[in-house]
């Protein structure tokens, strides 16, 4: 395979990887705050994408406003779900919340099928799909657009976590919940904020991936790739989630070149099993010790 063609494959892999990274980030943000994973994260980003579609199609908003609507709706849904359902179970074992979010993912997916449709819908493209030449290399603007938008969002997250009071509160809760509470941080507000922030980040991933994969109730399954990415980078680490997402995207795009094509859809699962068996703490993570 020639150099420029390889670069094309790697760039589109990085674009897919950015979306995985955003989904991984949203999973890790909730995990760091509440120590549980939201299995419904994928379905929540699906709702965002569907709302954006409706806002453009039915309400006739311009695309960017519709996308903003979708992302905001995802945040609102997360706020309501966290306050009404998840908060009641947080004091119980982690199992309970896992199963609740699993039930939520089933229910949300079915509800979206009833409210909208179970068919695949075309989603309006934010960026063109026609490859343009940059020197000898041909890349699709959609890849660059997705990478650009994701990087801007990631930088915004870095700013949020480093420079704002709320961001520092989130990091404090992630490190030690009891100590954070003793320092006067409202841990409950951090839970709420984490769910909303995660839904917003996930929602952006949703509207970025929807033009590529079509809009459907099945698009929530991308959370599995996001989870694999987060595990790859060491679950709980935000930079790890980004690196893991990029790595997974590139592996997934390169694998069909060297392996039978049928294997492409198994790649995330095989990567996940391999990493869990060989190095459960992820490529960059450190071992965590727990007490009784």
Partner 1 sequence: MRVAAWALGGMAALGWPLVAPRYFVFLATLVAVNAVVAIGLNLLSGYTNQLSFGHAGFLAIGAYTAALLTLRAPALPVPLTLLAAGLVTALVGLALGIPCLRLDGLYLAMATLAFGFVVTEAITNLDWLTRGNDGLRVPLAHLGPWALDTDRSRYYLALAVAAAMILAALNVAATRTGRAFLAIRASEIAAQASGINAAAYKTVAFVLSAFYTGVAGGLFAFVVGFLSPDAFDVFLSVDFLVMIILGGLGSVWGGVAGAAIVTVLNDSLAGFQAYRPLIFGAIMIACMLFAPGGLAAMTRRQS
Residues at the interface with partner 1 (CB under 8 A) = 36-37, 85, 88-89, 92, 94-100, 102-111, 113-114, 118, 224, 227-228, 231, 235, 262, 265-266, 268-270, 272-273, 276-277, 280, 290-292
Nearer to partner 1, 59 or 106 (CB): 106
Residue 58: CB minimum distance to partner 1, A: 21
Nearer to partner 1, 142 or 272 (CB): 272
Residue 248: CB minimum distance to partner 1, A: 13
- What single DSSP character describes residue 92? S
Compute the distance between CA of residue 122 and CA of residue 68 in angstroms, rounded to an integer: 18
Residue 39: CB minimum distance to partner 1, A: 9
Nearer to partner 1, 192 or 228 (CB): 228
Compute the distance between CA of residue 250 and CA of residue 255 in angstroms, rounded to an integer: 8
Contact of 26 with 198, CB cutoff 8 Å: yes
Residue 38: CB minimum distance to partner 1, A: 11
Contact of 169 with 55, CB cutoff 8 Å: no
Residue 31: CB minimum distance to partner 1, A: 9
- For the chain, how are helix, strand and coil distributed in percent, rounded to 5? 75, 5, 20
Nearer to partner 1, 143 or 217 (CB): 217
Q: Which two tokens stand for residue 187?
A: 């841990």
Contact of 5 with 254, CB cutoff 8 Å: no
Contact of 166 with 185, CB cutoff 8 Å: no
Nearer to partner 1, 182 or 287 (CB): 287
């Amino acid at each position: 395979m020639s150099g420029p063609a390889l670069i094309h494959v790697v760039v589109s892999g990085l674009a897919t990887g950015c979306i995985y990274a955003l989904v991984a980030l949203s999973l890790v943000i909730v995990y760091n705050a509440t120590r549980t994973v939201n299995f419904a994260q994928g379905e929540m980003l699906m709702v965002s994408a569907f709302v954006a579609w409706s806002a453009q199609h039915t309400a006739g908003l311009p695309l960017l406003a519709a996308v903003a609507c979708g992302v905001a709706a995802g945040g609102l849904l997360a706020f309501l779900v966290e306050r009404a359902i998840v908060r009641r179970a947080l004091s119980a074992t982690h199992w309970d919340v896992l199963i609740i979010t699993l039930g939520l993912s089933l229910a949300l997916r079915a509800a979206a099928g009833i409210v909208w449709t179970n068919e695949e819908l075309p989603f309006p493209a934010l960026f063109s799909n026609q490859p343009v030449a940059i020197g000898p290399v041909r890349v699709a603007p959609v890849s660059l657009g997705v990478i650009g938008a994701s990087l801007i969002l990631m930088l915004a997250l870095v700013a949020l976590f480093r420079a704002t009071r709320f961001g520092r509160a989130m990091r404090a809760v992630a490190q030690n919940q009891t100590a954070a509470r003793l320092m006067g941080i409202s841990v409950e507000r951090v839970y709420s904020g984490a769910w909303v922030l995660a839904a917003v980040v996930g929602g952006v991933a949703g509207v970025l991936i929807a033009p590529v994969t079509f809009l459907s109730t099945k698009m929530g399954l991308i959370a599995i790739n996001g989870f694999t990415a987060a595990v790859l980078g060491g679950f709980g680490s935000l930079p790890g989630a980004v690196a893991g997402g990029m790595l997974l995207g590139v592996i997934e795009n390169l694998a069909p070149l060297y392996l039978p094509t049928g294997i492409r859809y198994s790649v995330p699962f095989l990567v996940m099993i391999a990493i869990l068996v060989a190095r459960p703490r992820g490529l960059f993570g450190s071992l965590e010790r727990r007490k009784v």
